Amino acid sequence: MLHDVRTELAGRITEMRETGVFKPERVLASPQGTHVRDESGREILNLCANNYLGLADDPRVVSAASKTLVDRGFGMASVRFICGTQDIHRELEERLSSWLGQEDTILFPSCFDANGGVFEALFDARDAVISDALNHASIIDGIRLCKAARFRYANRDMAELEARLQEASDARYRLIVTDGVFSMDGYYAPLDEICALADRYDALVMVDDSHAVGFVGEGGRGTPARFGVEDRVDILTGTLGKALGGASGGYVAARREIVAVLKQRARPYLFSNSVAPAVVGASLAVLDILQESDELRTQLERNAARFRAGMSEAGFELLPGEHAIVPVMFGDAVAASQTAQRLWEAGVYAVAFSFPVVPHGQARIRVQLSAAHTDDDIDRAIESFVATRD
Ligand SMILES: *Cc1c(COP(=O)(O)O)cnc(C)c1O
């Protein structure tokens, strides 16, 4: 049987390569940052990390991690409820709650796990979950694990959301769930309109703010802050693995009773290891940095604006917006992937996305700016895009 399995799996991989959906892994031989090195030692300008605030290799964050590593050891070797809770885990949960304006917070090994555990623990067959069609895979999987009735609305389509709310009117609880920012487009969910509909149809609101927390909205508190609906969002999930240092870990910040039940029932919390102490210590330092000053957020906004303006001027088609995710549109999948390859050869790393990750005919290169990019980096990135056309 092993022989058959291996032959069949190898065939699948071959087919992925032939149809252009195989994802090769580039290997870095340096810390994550705006300038990385490949295995040959070549320096590369990185435009594809979720390192929005440049904190992944920030000396303050690294030193907080190493100090915690020495003080609190390498690992917890336990889930939280047995012997995996240190004072710093509770401290980080409290800091996240007060910063995000929620009553309580529960840490998870990742945001994928937070979304994987949240639905099943809170909702059952009497309830309805109404989800944006472009929500993150972890939300889709989390909803599948729960017995609630499932409804889907087209991306950011408020008329469809309203129709689904009407269809779900018999449910005990209705939950609207959306990404705060959609990762392929850099578009914001219209949380003001979503919350108004939630008020009208008596629904709960859940936002996954992974591509926003730390740098969107006042104080970097995320999409709810940007839309002025922090008090109306009932469940807020997010990752520590993007702007907030980029290591790992996720959280659910929510109403007190919601967090209390999640601590008793969320399976990835009950059955998976605690976040490593060094990551917790570093995350506390990240919150200090964000609360001391708006400098990094402001720099990121400037960098995104500079890149967007320069690329538009150079004649590239971008999806409109302000977010640090900047999709450079090619339409044709081959044109996008060949451009990404030429950029790589020129020492600039950006990734092309095509179907099925984005719709047919909307292939693109997704650029992600960081606060740590310099003006020279951004100008070099634009010049490199221009050079790929020659
Ligand atoms: C990245 C991301 C996740 C996963 O976060 P991890 O902590 O890496 O598991 C979940 N949801 C959204 C919207 C994301 O962008």
Query: What DSSP assignment string belongs to 91-104?
Result: HHHHHHHHHHT-SE
> Is the minimum distance from the CB of 110 to ligand 1 under 6 angstroms?
yes
Compute, in angstroms, the gap from residue 70 CA to the centroid of ligand 1.
29
Nearest 5 degrees, angle CA 58-CA 112-CA 135? 105
2 C-alpha to ligand 1 centroid (Å): 34
Beta bridge partners of 153: 132
From first to last of its 390 residues, the chain has per-residue pLDDT tens of 999 999 999 999 999 888 877 888 999 999 999 999 999 999 999 999 999 999 999 999 999 999 999 999 999 999 999 999 999 999 999 999 999 999 999 999 999 999 999 999 999 999 999 999 999 999 999 999 999 999 999 999 999 999 999 999 999 999 999 999 999 999 999 999 999 999 999 999 999 999 999 999 999 999 999 999 999 999 999 999 999 999 999 999 999 999 999 999 999 999 999 999 999 999 999 999 999 999 999 999 999 999 999 999 999 999 999 999 999 999 999 999 999 999 999 999 999 999 889 999 999 999 999 999 999 999 999 999 999 997
Which pLDDT score, from 0 to 100, does residue 323 have?
Answer: 98
What is the pLDDT, as a whole number, of residue 41? 96
242 classed as catalytic: yes
pLDDT score for 23: 84
State yes or no: is 337 an active-site residue: no
Q: Is 237 in the pocket of ligand 1 (CB under 6 A)?
A: no
Number of the ligand 1 atom closest to the C-alpha atom of 108: 7
Q: What is the pLDDT of residue 22?
A: 84
pLDDT score recorded for residue 390 = 76
Q: Is the CB of 210 under 6 A from ligand 1?
A: yes
Q: 142-167 as b/e, with b when 16 or more CB fall inside 10 Å?
A: bbeebebbbbbbebbeeebbeebbee
Q: Which of 115, 138, 223 to mutate to test the pocket of ligand 1 (most atoms within 8 A of CB)?
A: 138
Catalytic residue among 211, 274, 337, 354: 211
Whether 23 is a known active-site residue: answer: no
Q: State the closest ligand 1 atom to the C-alpha of 181, by its place in the atom list counted from 1.
A: 13
Give the Cα separation of 110 and 194 in Å (integer). 26
Nearest ligand 1 atom, CA 139: 11
**Catalytic position from the list 183, 272, 274, 384:** 183
Residue 237 DSSP SS3: strand
Residue 283: phi and psi, rounded to 5, are -65, -35
Q: Which of 32, 51, 111 to mutate to test the pocket of ligand 1 (most atoms within 8 A of CB)?
A: 111
Using the mean position of ligand 1's atoms as its centre, give its distance from the Cα of residue 304 in Å. Answer: 21
> Which residues sit opposite 329 in a β-bridge?
317, 364
